[in-house]
Amino acid sequence: MKNDFQRALRYLRRACFLKCPECGTKPVFLPILKTRRLSDYFTPLDGCPRCGYAYERETGYFLLSIWAINYGFGSILGIAIYCYLEWNYYLPLPLLLVGVITPVVLFNFLFARHSKAFFLALDHYFDPHTKDGSGGDGGSGKGNPPRNPIPAPPVNAPQPVEPAVPV
Ligand SMILES: [Zn+2]
Residue 35 lies in a domain: yes
Residue 163 lies in a domain: no
Residue 145 lies in a domain: no
Residue 107 lies in a domain: yes
pTM, rounded to two decimals: 0.73
HEC states along the chain? CHHHHHHHHHHHHHHHCCECCCCCCCECCCCHHHCCCHHHHHCCCCECCCCCCECCCCCCCCHHHHHHHHHHHHHHHHHHHHHHHHHHCCCCHHHHHHHHHHHHHHHHHHHHHHHHHHHHHHHHHHCCCCCCCCCCCCCCCCCCCCCCCCCCCCCCCCCCCCCCCCC
For 114-129, the pLDDT digits (tens) are: 999 999 999 999 988 7
pLDDT at residue 136 is higher than 60: no
Residue 131 lies in a domain: no
* Residues of the domain holding 71: 2-126
What is the Å distance from ligand 1's center to 44 Cα?
13
pLDDT at residue 130 is higher than 50: yes
Residue 52 lies in a domain: yes
What is the Å distance from ligand 1's center to 108 Cα?
26
Residue 63 lies in a domain: yes
Please give the tally of structural domains in the chain.
1
